Amino acid sequence: MKYAKTFQNLHDIGEQLNLQKLQKGACEKFVALLYGNENLTLNEIRRIRAATSAHSKALPPTRDSFYLHCLRCLLRLWIWRHSLVAKHDLPSLTLFGYHFDSNINLVPTMMNQPIAAPELLNDLTCDCEICEDFTCRCFINKQPCTAACKCTANMHTQDMLCANLNTLTLVFDQDSDISDTGAGCVFKQQ
């Protein structure tokens, strides 16, 4: 009952298709309590836990990511609460934490903010012996591998070739005179 007053604003969440400021604050406080701290924001808890070398899966979501999740939950709650109505005039689902991918599938938007500050992204390294796109930390963060990586961004030894597309893009852009209008394939940095 200690937090009953704090969370009383959540009883009518989903009645309307907007998340009120008090509801947003109560949702964030609820998740902060799950991580053992009621006085800090999710970003502050995340920063403190990351500084203690906590595993990335043990970190709370960022405020941005959590807000997008709340919007998706709000939409689902609204649909459930209005399930007896035959037809709804819903606004665009992209207003509720979703976006359309390249195949025009509706998928959740995980975050609106950059992954990290650009100066931090440049310090990322991977520990892949042979990089494979979906397991390479550099590729996942849309960065090329560097000499500091375990793969050393090797583009010369056939049996140890770095397969990170961002590294390949960088090498092809620097070493090639092929233009994007010429024959052949040209990789462009995304």
Over residues 47-76, the pLDDT tens digits come to 998 888 778 788 899 999 999 999 999 999
Q: What are phi and psi of 103, to 5 degrees?
A: -95, 15
Number of structural domains, the chain? Answer: 2
- pLDDT range class, residue 172, cuts 50, 70, 90: low
Domain match, 96 and 126 both: no
pTM confidence score: 0.63
Which tens digits make up the pLDDT trace of 143-157?
888 777 888 877 666
Structural domain containing residue 55 = 4-108
188 found inside a domain: no
Q: Which of 61, 79, 108 is the last residue of a domain?
A: 108
- Which of 2, 1, 20 lies closest to 10 in space, CA to CA? 20
Give ∠ CA 65-71-74 in degrees, rounded to 5: 140
Which tens digits make up the pLDDT trace of 87-117?
988 889 999 999 998 889 999 999 998 777 7
In this model, does residue 1 exceed pLDDT 60? yes
Eight-state DSSP code of residue 145: -
In this model, does residue 160 exceed pLDDT 90? no
Rg of the Cα atoms in the chain = 22
- Percent of the chain exceeding pLDDT 90 equals 41
Domain match, 70 and 135 both: no
pLDDT at 184: 32
Q: Which of 86, 108, 130 is the last residue of a domain?
A: 108
Domain match, 103 and 137 both: no
Domain match, 149 and 86 both: no
Domain match, 124 and 103 both: no
Q: Which of 73, 90, 108 is the last residue of a domain?
A: 108
Domain match, 80 and 163 both: no
Nearest-angstrom CA–CA distance, 190 and 184: 19
Domain match, 128 and 154 both: yes
- Contact criterion met (CB below 8 Å) for 97 and 71: yes
